[in-house]
Amino acid sequence: MAYTYAYKPKVKSRSEVGSSRDVLREERQGLLATGGNGDDWQATRASLVRPVVQAGRQGGYGAVAAGNGGPRSEAPSFRSKAKTLLSAGDGMTADLTFENVSVISVPKNGSRDDTRNLTQLLNNVSGTVRAGEVMAVMGASGAGKSTLMNVLTNRNLSDNLMIDGIVKVNGTELGSAISKISGYVQQDDVFFPTLSVREHMEFQAALRIGRLLTKQERYQRIDELLNLMGLTKCQHTRIGLPGIEKSISGGESKRLAFATELIVNPAILFCDEPTTGLDSFMAEQVVNVLRQLAKRGKTIICVIHQPASHVFNMFSRLLLLAEGRVAYHGSCDGALRFFESLNFPCPESYNAAEHYIKTLAIAGGHVAECKEKVNAICDAFERSPDAAEVRKSIDVATGHEQDLRSVMLFDQTPSYRVSALVQLRWLVWRAMLDNMRNPDMFRVRTIQKIVVAVIYGMVYLHGVKPTQEGIQNINGALFLYMTENSFAPMLDLVAVFQRGIALFKREYAAYMYRLSIYYLAQVLGWLPSFAIDASVFCVITYFMVGLVPEWYKFLITFVICIITANVAAASGSLVSTISPSIDVGLVIAPTLTVIVMLFGGGVYLKLKTLPPYLAWLQWLSWFRYGNEILGIVHWQGVTNITCSADPQLPCITTGAEVMADNQYDPAKLGFDFGMLAALYAGFHLCAYFVLYTKNRKRN
């Protein structure tokens, strides 16, 4: 058997198929060469670009096609088709078949020629599911359920997999184009917790449908989906985080995940364990929704883990996997008869789903015996009438191959439905809404800033005077402006950025927005929050501490506080993109802040005493530049510093002497502002580059 790395679809590649214009040109030339006329060409052109669908839009959401050979909507050109359909599968009915799917895992540092290190994940798995059916994929842990789902959806496939087999839709191999007609509801529901159900759907519709529908039509589609999913009553409820803040229920969350994928009306819906974590009542509601979708012509494939008996009986087809092989595939009632024929009858009043999984499980301590039993069951199925029926269904589907070239031509080059400006507007809207509604990011942090500012001001309330002792107090107060506006923004960004990574990966893989637009929107969304925090802290402390009450000095201090907060936040975004998890990021962030604080000079260190091999680190410290700006602004022009009563003690009498002692150079004021801007831009560019590197390959 020939294997290839990763998923290599057996349809023509993009270069082989060419653009829609090239295909039409070739067909036209061929038709004219055989003596065809202009009318023949127009008919051929329409057939090439005509969607293999019924006019679902006129029939409302979820309109079911009339089947093969039924009435189809006329589409005079590829351009008009793209404006009519929300996806290549909009309104289409799809029969899915997969034949002899085999997957072998190769160790990352191993060789595929070394059979000792190869792991067989799937072994000649074949099956079929027709439009209007809900198929459950079941099996014990490690049976290959998730691997099969990844192959069928052409997602989440690592480079160390050797995959062979044929996956067809309506008898045609689509390869990676299957994503254009399908939706994928993953096991974990990931949403922005601060958005309401309706706000989430409006965001999804705006970026995934865009200008294909008017605003009123998008809202009408959202209303229909919310009604279909039973989410109308909670449409204005915030999604929330289960167990952390008030949220919609687990069943509502799962139905919202379905609604999210159905926004573009796909023909096939893949679901990865949609009932996991739900009680039996919620699970029944979720599966009932799947059945309602199937009645509307959808093809539903679910990986499911030990459903309750009444939930299990709601599925129309069953695929049992064991050790990467097919143990049974057919109707749920047929499974009972098949296992009973092998002397594995299901006891009365016992959940059939649990019986199958228990029978096919590999028990510890009895591995050899269990594997022998499983192989015997799989061998028996291959010889059974059910397996023959599966093979016949696959052959029939292959014999009735439909021309789905329009699917492969539809958005052949993955593209975005809206412009970069529209993407930015919606992403900034969501980011700012999240900041305003997030208590940890807004209310609690603002209160914390006020409390710290008051304590800070009380400490220095009578200590900032033009005396020898006051020099140290003033320098310490200025340095604390840098410290207080660095730690919190950096730590906040590590947590917030990491929290949104999972959702970003899903939406980015769906071509909802560009990576650059996403990152820019995050930056713009943070600006108001950090500006408000820094402003609150600066306004309270400046006058309580008793710094010189001049507008120029106050404004420079005010601006430096805001700049410092945003530079620290930029470094936090870099730490977040580098870190594999929030926990790791929260360890790196304070360590980095302490290092840049130490090399920033000020009250901790005279920069001229740094050893040459460490001196270069000072140029990466925003503390160095911000502290020098504050020192220059507040000491420049000071000429009345009082000396101590003891004439033997050294005395600094002017601000110029203070600046010289701390290596502050008034001529470098513009340079310091420039370096702060450079660090801000540099941190963000590095963070963007890391994020881009990690997500170059969309799954």
Give the DSSP H or E segment for 296.
Answer: none
Question: 3-state DSSP call for residue 73?
Answer: coil
Q: Which tens digit of pLDDT belongs to each residue from 408-435?
A: 545 445 568 889 999 999 999 998 888 7
What is the Cα–Cα distance from 635 to 640, expressed in whole angstroms? 11
Query: Which amino acid, one-letter code, is at 484?
Result: E
Q: Tell me, what's the pLDDT at 308?
A: 87
pLDDT band for position 399 (50/70/90)?
low
Question: If we measure between CA atoms, which residue out of 280, 283, 687 comes closest to residue 493?
Answer: 687
Q: For residue 299, what pLDDT band results from cuts at 50, 70 and 90?
A: very high
Q: Are 679 and 569 in contact (CB under 8 A)?
A: no
The CA distance from 413 to 177, in Å, is 10
Nearest C-alpha neighbor of 484 from the set 593, 605, 387, 592: 593
Six token digits for residue 41? 């060409």
CB 304 within 8 A of CB 316: no
Token pair, residue 81, equals 């088709």
Could you say which DSSP state residue 101 is in?
E
The answer to whether the beta carbons of residues 108 and 90 sit under 8 Å apart is: no
Q: With bands split at pLDDT 50, 70 and 90, how would you rate the model's confidence at 222?
A: very high
The mean predicted confidence, pLDDT, of the chain is 80
Report the distance separating Cα 590 and Cα 584, nearest Å: 11
* Residue 224: predicted pLDDT: 92
Report pLDDT for 73. Answer: 34
Measured CA angle at 576 (ends 570, 579), to 5 deg: 145
Mean pLDDT of 561-571: 94
- The pTM score is 0.77
Tokens of 521: 């929107």
CB 272 within 8 A of CB 303: yes
CA-to-CA dists, residue 678 to 268, 516, 670, 682, angstroms: 49, 19, 12, 6
| The one-letter amino acid at 348 | E
Give the C-alpha separation, 655 to 479, whole Å. 17
Residue 566 has pLDDT above 90, yes or no: yes
Q: pLDDT, tens digit, for every residue of 495-541? A: 777 778 888 988 888 889 999 999 999 999 888 888 888 999 999 99
Count the Cβ atoms, other than its own, within 10 Å of residue 503: 12
Quote the pLDDT of residue 79.
Answer: 30
**Per-residue pLDDT reduced to its tens digit, 15-24:** 343 344 344 4
Contacts of 677 (CB under 8 A, 6+ apart): none
| 114 backbone dihedrals φ, ψ, rounded to 5° | -90, 95
Which residue, 445, 587, 573, is CA-closest to 499? Answer: 573
> pLDDT value at position 68?
35
Closest to 582 (Cα-Cα) out of 510, 502, 486: 502
Residue in this structure with the two tokens 């309270």, named with its chain if needed: 540
Residues 277, 189: Cα–Cα separation, whole Å: 11
What is the helix (H) or strand (E) element at residue 178, kind and residue range?
none
CB pairs under 8 A, 24+ apart, for 531-536?
531/562, 531/565, 531/566, 532/446, 533/445, 533/446, 533/449, 533/485, 533/488, 533/489, 533/565, 534/485, 534/558, 534/561, 534/562, 534/564, 534/565, 535/561, 535/562, 536/446, 536/449, 536/450, 536/453
> What integer pLDDT is reported at residue 509 of this predicted model?
83
What are the counts of helices (DSSP H) followed by strands (DSSP E) for the chain? Answer: 26, 11
DSSP, residue by residue, 542-590: HHHHT----HHHHHHHHHHHHHHHHHHHHHHHHHHHH-SSHHHHHHHHH
DSSP SS3 for 79: helix
Reported confidence tier of residue 489, pLDDT bands at 50, 70, 90: confident
User: What is the C-alpha to C-alpha distance for residues 246 and 269, in angstroms, rounded to an integer?
Assistant: 29
* 56, 252, 507 from 189: Cα distances, Å: 28, 11, 13
Least confident of 219-228, 330-339, 433-442: 433-442
Residue 642's pLDDT is what? 82
In this prediction, residues 46-60 reach a mean pLDDT of 36
Residues of the chain by 3-state class (helix, strand, coil), percent to 5: 55, 10, 35
Residue indicated by tokens 């005396």:
467
**Beta carbons of 268 and 169 less than 8 angstroms apart:** yes
Helix axes 551-578, 582-598, angle to 10 degrees: 140
Torsion angle in degrees (nearest 10) through CA of 76, 82, 85, 87? 140
Taking only the tens place, the pLDDT of each residue in 640-664 is 888 876 667 778 888 888 888 888 8
Listing DSSP states for 389-431 in one string gives HHHHHHHHHHHT----HHHHHTTSS---SS-HHHHHHHHHHHH
SS (HEC) of 581-605: CHHHHHHHHHHHHHHHHHCCCCCCC
Backbone angles phi, psi at 122, to 5 degrees: -135, 145
Q: What is the C-alpha separation between 338 and 389, in angstroms, rounded?
A: 14
Q: Which residues contact 551 (CB under 8 A, 6 or more apart)?
A: none
Report the SS3 class of residue 6: strand
- Across the beta sheet with 317-322, the strand order is 182-185, 268-272, 299-303, 134-139, 317-322, 325-330
